Structures are given as C-alpha cells and as structure tokens.
Amino acid sequence: MTSPSPLCVVHLTKRYHQRSGPDIEAVSDVSFEVAPGECFGMLGPNGSANASNPASSLPTK
C-alpha cells in the first residue's frame, strides 16, 4: 500500500505585476511531486535557492 504524496504541485505559474510595463512571469507551468520520506530541494538557474515555487504552492491565510 502506498501513501499519498505529502506535496504535489501541478501547473504552477507565478507572475509579478508591475505598475508600468508587462508582468514578469517568474515561474511557468511547473509540476512536481514529492514522495513520502524523500528529501527535496530546488535550485535556480544560477545555483541559488529558489523561493518562488515553494512559497507559491503553500496555502495562504
């Protein structure tokens, strides 16, 4: 018997709105799943930690 994934993100997109000019799309159509007991981390294109994806996938109050 397999347990459900503790984190499953499907088609995540994050845009930042600017007062002038076009919106900036920081994350485009990202999907991933973290299995139980799996260690998971994300790095940006320059090797730095990427905070936009996990922050966008968490519930907000």
* pLDDT tens track for 17-53: 999 999 988 888 989 898 988 888 777 777 666 665 5
The pLDDT of residue 28: 87
Supply the pTM of this predicted model: 0.58
The pLDDT of residue 57: 57
Using pLDDT thresholds of 50, 70 and 90, give the confidence band for residue 2: low
Q: Is residue 22 exposed (0-12), middle (13-18) or buried (19+ Cβ within 10 Å)?
A: exposed
- Both tokens of residue 39? 């260690």
